[in-house]
Structure 1
Amino acid sequence: MCGSLRRELGFWDAVSVGLGAVIGAGIFVVVGLAAGVAGAGVVLAVVLAGFSAVFTGLSFAELGAALPRSGGVYEYGRSLLHPALGFLMGWSWVSGNIVLGATASLSFGYYLESAFPWFSHVAGAVLLIALVTLVNVVGVRVSASVNNVLVAGKVLVLLVFAALGVLSMDPGHFSGMTSASLSSLAAAAGLFYFAYIGFPRISTMAEEVVDPERNIPRAILVTLVLSMGLYVGVVVAAVGLVGSDALASSTAPIAVAAERLGIKGLVEAGALLATGSVVLTSAMGQSRVFYAMARNGEIPERLARVSERFGTPVNSILLSGVIMLVLVLTVDLSGLASFTSFSVLLTHVFTNLAALRLDRREVSVDYSLRGVPVHAFIGLALSLVLSLSLGTRTLVAGGVNVALALAWFYGYRLLRGRAHGLRV
């Protein structure tokens, strides 16, 4: 039997969930991969990825106000496009975010192992997943409070790094910034989009946000503006301190730049906070999409059960934790950043398409120009371009994931229909 979720998140809690999801492994790790593609042009790639996210964020803001339901992209596709497309959007979003959560937990483990060599990075990742799963089960209010502390800590660390770095940088490191080709900038932006993909997590929590029609749109846009400003400052500082080649050759690029300032330990502590909050909010978001799918009978309905004691979808939270745990223990996640970006960009293509289908005579939040949702057209185009720039192997893996989603949707519907027929 399905239960109702509790509305316990205010505006700043929603912003904190967004920042907790956005600022994580992307800025601490993926910036190095993007620098390897675009060189000093990584600064422009960060801005390009951010602009793409902002246009799509406007569509999310409209949809979040019009359809404030748990599940986010899944509900938008299901309500405005087609149930199969909605399921595909939910499946793709969860796929990308589960990989993101598992990758972030391993990053946490590596930073922990760096500080305490006797502690295995795998054990650190497992411990983090167990802790965030427990926190999520206990209640959304507890999860939000823990996340608020983690977000405040990591933002403060990055602000200190950016401020000190800008004062000490070498302008010569930016000499090749404008010589990067458009194709390399697009590919780097597509990779760095990984660092922005957490902002829709706010919409997955819609049924737990107070006054969602007002708070969800504002929280999404504030999250994106703050994240983009912080990212640009951090990347400018990092490139200016050590150059794009040094960033590209390191698995911990921001830590390498911080070492030049003598604050490597502080940045490593910030990385622990950042990856911890990403895994925490990842479990929050995934479980709400599972909850919404189960409520609609598209996955086992027991996943929609809400604990009377905690007010959380416990079974969905446990499933999210188990899947991340299995990935950490069995799969090499080092090359899956592009798959995560593709999966989420695919959902953003369809989200912008859903925004085009909104009846704008009835929406309470409307960012169209004279009734024309220009932002949705631009967001759709940029999301599509960035997704197609991620390489053949990523596109093939994404295509396989799409086929699996559709096979589940129609196969489970058929089996469920037969089961109900037998009962009748």
Structure 2
Amino acid sequence: MGTNTSLKRSLGLWAIVALGLGYMTPTVVFDTFGIVSKQTGGLVPLAYIVGLIVMLFTAISYGKMVKVFPSAGSAYTYTRETMGPRLGFLVGWASLLDYLLLPLVNAVIIRLYMESLFPDASAWIWVLIYVAFVTAINAISMKSTSGVNIILVVFTIALMAAFVVLGAIQLYKGMGTGTLLTIQPLFQANMHITAVLTGATVVCFSFIGFDAITMYTEEAKDINMMPKAIAFTVLIGGGIFFVGAYFAQTLFPDVSVFNVVDDTLPEIALYVGGVVFQLIFLAGAFAATTASGLASHSSVSRLLYVMGRNGVLPKKLFGYVHPKFRTPLFNVIFVGLVSLLAMGPSLELVSAVINFGALIAFTFVNLSVIAYFVFKKKQYQTPKQIISYIVMPTLGAAFTGVLWAHLHADAFIGGIVWVVIGVIYMFIMSKVFKRDITDLGVDEAEKMTS
């Protein structure tokens, strides 16, 4: 009875940007610092510059496509409408790996924080409490999610500014490189570009969020502000990541001082500001991770909603919107259940697998621009059109392809298994249930393109 209920348009520009920044989790730069520093040989800021360049090209493509298809669904919708339902389904399925695991990875980070504070307590209890809180907030309303998220993001950015000030003081006292201005975190004589690219695939995990805000298109007060929201999210988030990575790298040129390389944030805060600052900074990290959890949980719920509304997933469940809360309630609860799996895996493993789906989605969004504007609309007559609809998205697709080729082996294995499951599901839908993927969601597609 609730499947015809629409999502509520309640989000302004900065509310959407805040959701994107919250999704990106500004403090994740410190969580993955040890992993990336070890991979790149102490060039984490350079890895973030590479990641930012790739994300900017892709963000421009997202901005173009969100105006053409003002619907939730992101890469799934764009690929489906420009390159066909079957390919769209597979891209959407790959994106699900990314989006489903992002709420889970936030729960993993919370678990690691609590384990560092209470090593003798059972880890599962922290995961359970956190997941229950995030699920409940998302189930009630999008407006409540946005309001809580903005408060958490502001608190997080303020604490990161405090880290920069304390870090500058420690550098002045001789810690790390002993100087505030150095090219060591950006260039070294013995640097290896392959190592930097491998590190960039990990930091791309930090940027996931700018693309996720396209899921809120149907809840934006004005869809014309979406391209601007995407650009602001990438640039602000990239700037925060670079500054955080630069100060962390100058303070800790290598990972030898860390006891736990898988999540270095607690130790970074301790060495820079002492026990009191560590506790305060952990509180900020909790805030950032919770904000990311709220945003990622809500966005994947909306991707599932679009796929359910189109009939790709069981419509009665995944296409359902609660008549009172006007949220995709079943999806919110489903994502919460998946997030409970955070009781076991490592941060490095989960973040690697996430990037498999994310980079596939980014690649096909760039290709969607070419498919729509060049092949469907024939807009390649002027130099501006050639640059905008051919050169820029081709570079975006090429850059994401290069990063995809440098993914960790575990990410390839997990990602390929997931895609194979998607192919099997598509086969079962068409052969067993006699429903061709090309026939699913026709009415919705017509609505979006009319």
- Tell me the distance in 1 between the aligned counterparts of 2:126 and 2:322: 28
Q: 2:207 is aligned with what amino acid?
A: Y
- Tell me the distance in 2 between the aligned counterparts of 1:66 and 1:156: 37
Among residues 217, 231, 238, which one is paired with 2:241 in the alignment?
231
CA displacement 1:120-168 (0-9 Å, x = unmatched): 4321121111111111111110111111111111111112212332343
- Tell me the distance in 1 between the aligned counterparts of 2:195 and 2:128: 36
CA 1:371 to 1:334, structure 2 compared with 1: closer, same or farther past 3 Å? closer
| Aligned match of 1:397 | 414
Helix, strand or coil at the partner of 1:243? coil
The CA RMSD measured in Å over matched residues stands at 2.5
Alignment of 1:24-63 (within 5 A): 26-63=28-65
CA displacement 1:104-134 (0-9 Å, x = unmatched): 1121123234345565432112111111111
1:339 lines up with 2:353 in the alignment: yes
Q: 1:38 is aligned with what amino acid?
A: T
| Aligned match of 2:329 | 314
- Tell me the distance in 2 between the aligned counterparts of 1:48 and 1:332: 25
Alignment of 1:161-176 (within 5 A): 161-169=163-171, 170-171=176-177, 175=184
- Tell me the distance in 2 between the aligned counterparts of 1:140 and 1:411: 34
CA contact (8 A) 1:69 1:204 kept: yes
- Tell me the distance in 2 between the aligned counterparts of 1:41 and 1:152: 28
CA 1:4 to 1:107, structure 2 compared with 1: closer, same or farther past 3 Å? same
Helix, strand or coil at the partner of 1:294? helix
- Tell me the distance in 2 between the aligned counterparts of 1:125 and 1:334: 18
Name the % identity. 26
CA 1:23 to 1:65, structure 2 compared with 1: closer, same or farther past 3 Å? same
- Tell me the distance in 1 between the aligned counterparts of 2:169 and 2:385: 40
Tell me which moved more, 106-115 or 220-229. Answer: 106-115
Q: 2:74 is aligned with what amino acid?
A: G
Deviation at 1:47, TM superposition (A): 0.7
1:147 lines up with 2:161 in the alignment: no
CA contact (8 A) 1:247 1:254 kept: no
CA contact (8 A) 2:106 2:293 kept: yes
CA contact (8 A) 2:65 2:369 kept: yes
Q: 2:243 is aligned with what amino acid?
A: G
CA displacement 1:61-117 (0-9 Å, x = unmatched): 111121110111111111111212211222222211222211211211232343455
Q: How many residues align?
A: 415
CA 1:9 to 1:254, structure 2 compared with 1: closer, same or farther past 3 Å? same
CA 1:384 to 1:247, structure 2 compared with 1: closer, same or farther past 3 Å? farther
| Aligned match of 2:74 | 72
CA contact (8 A) 2:43 2:249 kept: no
CA contact (8 A) 2:134 2:293 kept: yes
Tell me which moved more, 161-170 or 146-155. Answer: 161-170
CA contact (8 A) 2:167 2:251 kept: yes
Tell me which moved more, 254-263 or 45-54. Answer: 254-263
TM-score for the superposition, normalised by structure 1 = 0.91
- Tell me the distance in 2 between the aligned counterparts of 1:362 and 1:204: 28
- Tell me the distance in 2 between the aligned counterparts of 1:333 and 1:44: 22
Among residues 319, 327, 330, which one is paired with 1:304 in the alignment?
319
CA contact (8 A) 1:26 1:192 kept: no
- Tell me the distance in 2 between the aligned counterparts of 1:247 and 1:382: 34
| Aligned match of 1:415 | 432
Helix, strand or coil at the partner of 1:199? coil
Alignment of 1:92-107 (within 5 A): 92-107=94-109
| Aligned match of 1:269 | 283
Q: 1:233 is aligned with what amino acid?
A: V
| Aligned match of 1:388 | 405
CA contact (8 A) 2:27 2:160 kept: no
Q: 1:271 is aligned with what amino acid?
A: A
CA 1:75 to 1:81, structure 2 compared with 1: closer, same or farther past 3 Å? same
| Aligned match of 1:422 | none
- Tell me the distance in 2 between the aligned counterparts of 1:329 and 1:235: 28
- Tell me the distance in 2 between the aligned counterparts of 1:404 and 1:126: 28
| Aligned match of 1:289 | 303
| Aligned match of 1:204 | 215
- Which ranges in structure 2 are unaligned for 5 or more consecutive residues? 437-450
CA 1:72 to 1:418, structure 2 compared with 1: closer, same or farther past 3 Å? closer
